[in-house]
Amino acid sequence: MKKVSVSTLANKKEAGKKISMLTAYDYPTAKLIDQAEIDIALVGDSLGMVLLGYENTLKVTLDDILHHTKAVARGLKKAFLVADMPFASYKMGDIKETVKGAARLVQLGGAEGVKLEGGREIIDEVRAIIKAGIPVMGHLGLTPQSVKHFGGFKVQAKEEEAAKTLLEDAKILEEAGVFSLVLECIPAPLAKKVSQSLSIPVIGIGAGKGCDGQVLVNQDLLGVSNDFKPRFVRRYANLNEEMLDAFKRYREDVEQGNFPNEEESFL
């Protein structure tokens, strides 16, 4: 697998080949993503929920994303690395500061692109970041940073007017120069229509199979937590049970004096 670039992703869409994308927050996971030949690694603000124990993504800071992006960048050689612009790092009215934040993720963190949630309301920020030479990935539908506004994690754009607005926003983002677009938790027919209407790759999460690719949070895919399982998640492992069993067996061996043994000790 050669190094994935913006051109690689565009060519895959043109050729009708599906794009794979997974979240990554650390060096070991990044190395595995490369070995599995995943196209895109995303340092998502979902780390606030799956790693830091927050109830949503709103408390994640740019420094949090930068810290984890650095770790992932050290492990990647092939996958294209995208970092989330977290809540309060844009939409605040200071476009220069937004561009500086995106630049930090690229210059210091090693990201190759950044992802922003929203449509026409953030178009000035999107254009400014792209003008600075930083590729931007869009994100429409259920945008977790707006969860308070949506009243929870719910399917979006179910009504005709909302669906029309989403499609318009997708085209506005494409015209502004985003290289790709994530659609989260929207009806599958709408996601397929958006994908067919745009020339850029459209990545779905809870948006059906009609998109040009799919993204999942790797902890969901691996079954690391049993607290919450979105309907759209397919679990390819159940590490929660395996880890719990390993921790219990370790505790029992320590309590019974079975760990360490002579071979595991320095004599």
Q: What are the residue numbers of the active site?
A: 184
Q: What are phi and psi of 106, to 5 degrees?
A: -85, -50
Give the Å distances, CA to CA, from 124 to 149, 172, 205, 245. Answer: 22, 11, 26, 51
Q: How far apart are CA 211 and CA 226, in angstroms?
A: 28
Instruction: Spell out the SS3 assignment of 61-126.
Output: CHHHHHHHHHHHHHHCCCCEEEEECCCCCCCCCCHHHHHHHHHHHHHCCCCCEEECCECHHHHHHH
Helix (H, G, I), strand (E, B) or coil at 171: helix
User: Hunting for tokens 């499609």 — which residue is that?
Assistant: 167
* Helical (H) or strand (E) element with 174: helix 160-176
Instruction: Give the C-alpha separation, 153 to 265, whole Å.
Output: 50
CA neighbor of 47 nearest in space, from 25, 30, 28, 62: 25
Tokens 């990554």: give the residue. Answer: 24
Before 260, cis peptide (omega within 30)? yes
- Look at residues 140, 205, 216, 212 and name the one whose alpha carbon lies nearest to residue 176: 140
